[in-house]
């Protein structure tokens, strides 16, 4: 805790010291969430996730493309006797020039890799792992988007394993049609002191989708339909080759006057994707989301979602409410 506070204090001193020569920037992000997951019928992990994250940042614009920002991301879980349950440091360099962006350090995942399909990266990460710790490179123009990142999730010690995730995503859109892809891989190596019968693991997945965006061709505010495939990759080194289960995806999303319906269907083999949504262990799975995005106030986003999970002859349900306030200097 003292180290994190010292880093933030040092950055603040640097900002104040150089503020006459450089442009000051910053922001505050507040994310409140309540996610009730009733998953007992399918024997998945039921839980209630309730809390608030507070993340202030301050930094310097060195020139038109180079930025240095720092701060922290603090979590309080509702019902906890602790004032702060966890603090994650935020300190990163950002290069921002036309279509190119580059990040290095500890930076927020929101609006960068938070759009990955839940099958690959579960949305629970948005609650409990708000930052990427590593590097990210993004290229984006009016038609193309491509992103590459690496995120260290555990540093190797005598007893702790070395873990990192690397991934990529991209899309191309022309008129009504689009194609998109997402892929990630977890490298799970051993601790510095070897443990008998403990081996390096590789675990990842990829999706490829093609679809149409009919938002401008209907009375709806948005309407997209896509289909594609999901494949996962898993192996334990020295104990065998790759396991590569596969399946088909079919998705539809529509919204009218801030009321939306999203349906995601999967059929194929079950997957064991370590950082993915647990429902994709099923061979057939359908998720239906009914959502409402109320108008609250400028800078405040709200969303209520009622979700139904159809799999293995049962129906699980989920209710979530999220509020996010983002203010930028």
The CA-atom distances, in angstroms, between 183 and each of 98, 130, 164, 170, 234 are 25, 19, 14, 9, 13
| Helix/strand number for the chain, H first, E second | 2, 16
- pLDDT score of 258: 96
- pLDDT score of 262: 98
H or E stretch covering 49? strand 47-61
Measure the CA–CA gap between 320 and 287, rounded to whole angstroms.
14
Task: For 71, list phi and psi in degrees, rounded to 5.
Answer: 170, -140
Task: For 151, list phi and psi in degrees, rounded to 5.
Answer: -135, 115
**In this structure, are strands 23-38 and 222-236 parallel, antiparallel, or unpaired?**
unpaired
- pLDDT score of 78: 97
- pLDDT score of 179: 98
Q: Which domains does the chain have, with CATH numbers?
A: 2-328 (2.40.160)
- pLDDT score of 243: 95
Q: What is the pTM of this model?
A: 0.89
- pLDDT score of 17: 53
- pLDDT score of 50: 97
If one counts every other C-beta atom within 10 angstroms of the C-beta of residue 298, the result is: 6
Reference 198, options 161, 156, 233; nearest CA is 161
- pLDDT score of 10: 57
- pLDDT score of 13: 52
- pLDDT score of 18: 53
Residue 205, C-beta contacts closer than 8 angstroms, at least 6 positions apart: 119, 120, 183, 184, 230, 231, 232, 233, 271, 273, 276
Alpha helices in 19-163 (DSSP H): 125-128
Going from the first residue of the chain to its last (329 residues), give the mean pLDDT of each consecutive group of 10, the final group possibly shorter.
Answer: 54 53 88 97 95 97 93 97 97 96 97 94 95 97 96 90 95 96 95 86 97 95 98 91 96 98 98 96 98 92 97 97 92
Place of tokens 């061709």: 217
Task: For 123, list phi and psi in degrees, rounded to 5.
Answer: -70, -10
């Amino acid at each position: 805790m003292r180290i994190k506070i010292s880093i933030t204090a040092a950055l603040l001193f640097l900002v104040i010291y150089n503020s006459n020569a450089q442009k000051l920037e910053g922001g505050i992000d507040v994310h409140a969430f309540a996610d009730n997951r009733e998953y007992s019928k399918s024997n998945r992990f039921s839980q209630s996730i309730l809390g608030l994250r507070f993340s202030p940042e301050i930094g310097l614009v060195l020139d038109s493309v180079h930025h240095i920002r720092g701060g922290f991301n603090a979590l309080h879980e509702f019902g906890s006797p602790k004032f702060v349950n966890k603090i994650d440091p935020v300190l990163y360099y950002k290069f921002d020039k036309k279509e190119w962006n580059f990040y290095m350090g500890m930076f927020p995942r929101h609006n960068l890799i938070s759009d990955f399909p839940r099958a690959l990266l579960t949305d629970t990460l948005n609650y409990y792992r708000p930052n990427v710790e590593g590097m990210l490179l993004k290229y984006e123009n009016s038609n193309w988007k491509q992103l590459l990142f690496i995120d260290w999730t555990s540093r190797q010690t005598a007893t702790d394993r070395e873990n990192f995730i690397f991934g990529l995503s991209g899309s191309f859109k022309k008129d009504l049609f689009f194609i998109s892809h997402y892929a990630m891989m977890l490298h799970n190596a051993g601790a510095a002191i070897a443990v008998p019968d403990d081996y390096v693991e590789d675990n990842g997945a990829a999706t490829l989708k093609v679809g149409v965006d009919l938002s401008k061709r209907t009375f709806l505010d948005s309407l997209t339909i896509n289909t594609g495939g999901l494949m996962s990759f898993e192996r334990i080194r020295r104990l065998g080759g790759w396991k590569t289960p596969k399946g088909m995806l079919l998705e539809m999303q529509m919204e009218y006057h801030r009321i939306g319906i999203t349906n995601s269907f999967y059929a194929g083999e079950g997957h064991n994707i370590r950082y993915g949504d647990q429902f994709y262990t099923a061979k057939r799975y359908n998720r239906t989301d009914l959502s409402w995005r109320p108008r609250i106030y400028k800078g405040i986003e709200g969303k209520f979602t009622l979700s139904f999970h159809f799999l293995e002859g049962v129906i699980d349900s989920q209710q979530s409410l999220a509020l996010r306030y983002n203010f930028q200097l």
